[in-house]
Structure 1
Amino acid sequence: MEIQNYKNHRKFYPPHHFIYSPLLILLEFFGVYKIFTDKPNQVIWILFSVIIFLIIYLSVMIRQHYALELQNRLIRLEFKQRYFEIFNQRSDEIEEKLRFDQIAALRFAYDDEFKKLLYRALNENISGDQIKRNIKNWRADNYRV
């Protein structure tokens, strides 16, 4: 398995990202094209385009919403566990001071960098992207949705 880092940490689901979604987008463009070129059946093509658009919208929203909400909860739980293991304290007050992008970015850091980057996130308010860019020894997260 390839070593994970900032440049390759995003994950794609090929059937959805490279087949289903592009096919729906092509159908949507085709429907819009037919609206302007097939005047006798314009109403049918408008309906076709609206239905395809709704399918695109629903497929994106449903697929992402449930997975991301669950993933976000797990990331917060992981942060709480790591914080407790490292500092032997509850993380409630610390977690309230951090934005989710900061918490999510910290999961890529090993414990020694985690401490330093957590300190910077709390005191310098660096963004999640800045945290990721400052990680020297990337801790892979290969189980994301």
Structure 2
Amino acid sequence: MSEQNLKNHVRFVPLYHFFVLPMLIIHFGWSIYRWIAAGFSIGDLEWILTSAALFFGVLYARIFALSVQDRVIRLEERLRYEQVLPEELGWRADELTVDQFVSLRFASDEELEKLMQKVLNDKLTERKAIKQLIKNWRPDYLRA
């Protein structure tokens, strides 16, 4: 596996991103087309609702998994902060948002203190902006 960094840390699951989601979107569009072509029948409306339910079910399952992952990252980072950061800065972890926790997880132990202070003092909240400040990338290969 290549060295992880800002440019390649986003995880794509080809089967999910390039097959399942496109197929569900195509199925939904085809269901709408069939409904219109059939003259707005009740049976075809059921297909539209079913295809929409499938699409949103799969989409929400992914969103829920990412939300749980963010919560676990927040917990892991709090434990890391207790070990790595000075006590007075460790207490400031309560001020961090989930986006800040998720972004700071990539910072090495050596640069975490200064970077966390900068994020808190400058009120940086955008994940990408925080990740761009990281010099020594700490990879995370266990993402969902």
Q: Name the TM-score class by shorter chain.
A: 0.7 to 0.9
TM-score under structure 1 normalisation?
A: 0.87
Q: Which runs of 5+ in 2 are unaligned?
A: none
**1:46 alignment partner AA:** L
Does residue 96 (structure 1) correspond to residue 101 (structure 2)? The answer is no
CA contact (8 A) 2:85 2:113 kept: no
Does residue 125 (structure 1) correspond to residue 123 (structure 2)? The answer is yes
CA distance in 2, matches of 1:46, 1:90: 60
> Shift of the alpha carbon at 1:13?
2.1
SS in 1 for 2:87: coil
Does residue 6 (structure 1) correspond to residue 33 (structure 2)? The answer is no
Q: Which runs of 5+ in 1 are unaligned?
A: none
CA distance in 2, matches of 1:24, 1:99: 33
Write out per-residue CA displacement over residues 41-92 of structure 1, whole angstroms, 9 at most, x where no aligned residue.
6322221011100111111112331x22331222112211221111353877
Correspondence for 1:108: 106
* Structure ranking higher in helix proportion: 1
Say which of 87, 96, 115 aligns to 2:85.
87
Correspondence for 1:47: 46
Q: Percent identity?
A: 33
CA contact (8 A) 1:109 1:138 kept: yes
CA distance in 2, matches of 1:47, 1:92: 54
TM-score under structure 2 normalisation?
A: 0.88
CA distance in 2, matches of 1:95, 1:138: 20
CA contact (8 A) 2:35 2:41 kept: yes
CA contact (8 A) 2:24 2:51 kept: yes
CA distance in 2, matches of 1:43, 1:91: 61
